[in-house]
């Protein structure tokens, strides 16, 4: 049985007010060449321990956690919006978006990791956030229906797109006309950025922006977020 199907089964056991979606095309072969082989090996491990990642992701020393309120405000969320948290991880922003969009809105928590999604669904159930769906995606697609989302949020995740062309193509299809994409990632500048960033993040802001624009999205603006030293915030739109 393919990996994604094996992971789907235990996630379903956690469903209550929330739900999990699964794309029938998730097991299709990937033709695009990987831009950074192996970068997602740890996240694809079914034995991944969410507790270890909570200690890394949801701590004040992490910029996107410390500045989370400013980031949500900069996303310009309106009540009733449908939002996709791409690479949702431990679900920090999924939960914040659930509140911001209100019960009349919806949030898709999209990730390639089954353990992360199980955690998100269990936490949503615990906190009675019933406007969240967990989406187990393949490595080259966001696995969302066409014209289904108003906003795609990609936080410290774009550099983990091992197959960016396929992933971006699926993302553009999923966006409604006029829909927005927010990309937060690490500034990668040779000779200035930390050694970890230079080694882990495959390219700088200009390269990522070019890839996203070539996928068919228009650049809107770069937003200055108080508290960001290593991260940047870019906004794009589907015309």
pLDDT tens readout for residues 148-172 = 999 999 999 999 999 999 999 999 9
On whether residue 28 sits in a domain, the answer given is: no
Packed helices 3-12 and 114-126: angle between N→C axes, nearest 10 degrees:
10
Encode 166-183: b = buried (16+ Cβ within 10 Å), e = exposed. Answer: bbbbbbbbbbeeebbbbb
pLDDT-derived band at 21, boundaries 50, 70, 90: low
Judged by average pLDDT, the poorest of 20-29, 159-168, 210-219 is 20-29
Does the predicted model carry a pTM greater than 0.85?
A: yes
On whether residue 31 sits in a domain, the answer given is: no
On whether residue 89 sits in a domain, the answer given is: yes
Average pLDDT, the chain: 90
Kindly tell me if the per-residue pLDDT of 63 is higher than 90. Answer: yes
On whether residue 30 sits in a domain, the answer given is: no
State the CATH number of the domain containing residue 230.
3.40.50.150
On whether residue 29 sits in a domain, the answer given is: no
> What's the number of domains the chain is made of?
1
On whether residue 70 sits in a domain, the answer given is: yes
Encode 126-153: b = buried (16+ Cβ within 10 Å), e = exposed. Answer: eeebebbbbbbbbbbbbbbeeebbbbbb
On whether residue 193 sits in a domain, the answer given is: yes
pLDDT tens readout for residues 74-119 = 999 999 999 999 999 999 999 999 999 999 999 999 999 999 999 9
pLDDT tens readout for residues 29-62 = 568 999 999 999 999 999 999 999 999 999 999 9
Domain span at 95: 3-22+37-237
């Amino acid at each position: 049985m393919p990996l994604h199907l094996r992971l789907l089964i235990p996630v379903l056991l956690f469903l209550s007010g929330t739900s999990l979606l699964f794309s029938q095309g998730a097991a299709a072969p990937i033709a695009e060449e990987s831009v950074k082989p192996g970068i997602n090996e740890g996240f694809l491990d079914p034995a991944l321990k969410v507790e270890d990642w909570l200690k890394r992701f949801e701590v004040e020393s992490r910029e996107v956690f410390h500045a989370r309120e400013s980031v949500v405000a900069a996303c310009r969320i309106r009540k009733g919006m449908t939002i996709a948290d791409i690479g949702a991880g431990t679900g920090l922003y999924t939960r914040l978006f659930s509140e911001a969009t209100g019960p009349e809105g919806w949030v898709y928590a999209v990730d390639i990791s089954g353990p992360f999604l199980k955690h998100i669904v269990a936490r949503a159930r615990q906190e009675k956030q019933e406007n969240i769906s967990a989406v187990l995606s393949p490595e080259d697609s966001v696995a969302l229906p066409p014209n289904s989302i108003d906003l795609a949020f990609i936080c410290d995740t774009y550099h983990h797109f091992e197959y960016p062309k396929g992933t971006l193509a699926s993302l553009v299809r999923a966006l409604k006309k006029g829909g927005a994409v927010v990309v937060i990632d690490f500034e990668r500048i040779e000779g200035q950025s930390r050694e970890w960033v230079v080694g882990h993040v495959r390219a700088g802001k200009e390269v990522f922006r070019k890839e996203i624009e070539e996928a068919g999205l228009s650049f809107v603006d770069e937003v200055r977020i108080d508290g960001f030293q290593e991260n940047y915030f870019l906004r794009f739109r589907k015309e």
